[in-house]
Amino acid sequence: MTMSRPPVVPHDEWRSALADLRAREKAATRELDAIAAQRRRLPMVKLPEYTLEAADGPVRLAELFAGKSQLITYHHMWNPGAEWQCPGCTGFTSQFTRLEFLENYDARFVIVTQGPIQEALAYADKVGNRMTWYSTAGSEFGADMGAGPGEGFAVNVFLRDGDDVYRTWHTDGRGTEQLSHTFPLIDLLPYGRQEEWQDSPAGWPQRPTYSGWTGSEEIAAAYGQA
């Protein structure tokens, strides 16, 4: 089957069309800068004490910072007893193999999940995940942060002052896309994500949402230890 393609035009016409798009791209960049500035001015809320499970036993929430003052948590969806966990969460977190740069910003990025810690660690190993995992199975932390048992995924950001921890930001759903490099790269392609909900020209390839995403089994085959 022959797919439609973008029209072929002279170079000057292409440069003009690109310039029109670039103006919108630059406006979007300035808006993202303004959003980030507003985010830095958000108030925060002090959290109660929480105890989570690490690989070597119970830890207080303040200990997740590992001495840093700032912390990002990705709340990984967990389906009890499932061999393969959420492919979106599995794929999203498999991207983060080099987080050392956060050291220069006094920050850390970790995963928390409702799964029991040993099951979570076994799954992380199976799919080749390189992040540090914690379990909130025995704590209200996940539910209080918008990702309780049977709920979705989320990202939260915290600030620590001694043993006091404050919640500064939260997002879920497509709000997490800004942390990913996969969608920004795919969105640069002429055919984009090829998902049915997207506004694409007539004749562009399209398929059901999520159907092009890498599955957990594929991630394990590419990066896992088994």
Q: Is residue 208 included in any domain, yes or no? A: no
Residue 3 banded pLDDT, cuts 50, 70, 90: confident
Q: List pLDDT tens digits, range 30-86.
A: 999 999 999 999 999 999 999 999 999 999 999 999 999 999 999 999 999 999 999
Q: Please check whether residue 1 lies inside any domain of the structure.
A: no
**What is the torsional sign of CA 68, 108, 29, 11?**
positive
Angle of helix 87-94 relative to helix 216-223, nearest 10 degrees? 30
- Of the candidates 16, 180, 175, 207, the one whose C-alpha atom is nearest the C-alpha of residue 91 is 180
Give the residue numbers spanning the domain of 119: 45-177
Q: What percent of the chain has pLDDT over 70?
A: 98
Q: Looking at the DSSP assignment, which residues form a beta bridge with residue 135?
A: 53, 113
Q: What is the CATH number of the domain that holds 135?
A: 3.40.30.10
* 183 belongs to a structural domain: no
Total of domains in the chain: 1
Average pLDDT, integer, range 138-158: 95
207, part of any domain: no
Instruction: Give the Cα separation of 135 and 76 in Å (integer).
Output: 10
Q: In this structure, is residue 39 part of a structural domain?
A: no
pLDDT tens digits, 174-209: 999 989 999 999 999 999 999 999 999 999 999 999
Measured CA to CA, the distance from residue 114 to residue 76 in angstroms comes to 8
Are the C-beta atoms of residues 89 and 77 closer than 8 Å to each other?
yes
- What is the model's pTM? 0.93
**In this structure, is residue 28 part of a structural domain?**
no
Distance CA 136, CA 147 (A): 10
Residue 103 lies in a domain: yes
Report percent pLDDT > 90 for the chain.
Answer: 94
Examine residue 144 and state whether it is found in any structural domain, yes or no: yes
**Secondary structure element (H or E) that encloses residue 154, with its range:** strand 154-161
